[in-house]
Amino acid sequence: MGAMMASITSELLFFLPFILLALLTFYTTAAAQCHGGRRWRPTKKKRPNLPPGAPGWPLVGETFGYLRPHPATSVGRFMEQHVARYIAEQQLAN
């Protein structure tokens, strides 16, 4: 019984590369057919439709700039930049 299992295992290991090659060939052929046989062409990257401003880190954004300490006599550089940016955009929109 053990010799029979060893024989089957060695046969499977012998044919494994051929089976993998056949699967790879099938996969690439199927993928080419799905794409209409067209070759890959680089496309222009579309700019995502995002609101103005620096993207920053995900979920943090510009929080560090907002929380940066500033003198009590001013609104801070962060607010000055954002107010100037959004006022200019509003004036362009109107």
DSSP string, 50-71: --SS---BTTTBTHHHHHS---
**Cβ count within 10 A of residue 65:** 15
Mean pLDDT of 88-92: 71
Strand (E) or helix (H) holding 11: helix 2-34
Mean pLDDT of 29-45: 67
CA distance 11 to 3: 12
Angle at 88 between CA 91 and CA 84, to 5 degrees: 140
Residue 58 has pLDDT above 70, yes or no: no
pTM of the model: 0.37
Mean pLDDT of 10-27: 82
Residue 37 has pLDDT above 60, yes or no: no
Cβ atoms 77, 70 nearer than 8 A: yes
Every domain of the chain and the residues it spans: 1-37, 63-93
Mean pLDDT of 35-55: 67
Check residue 87 and give its pLDDT.
83
The pair of structure tokens assigned to 45 is 């990257």
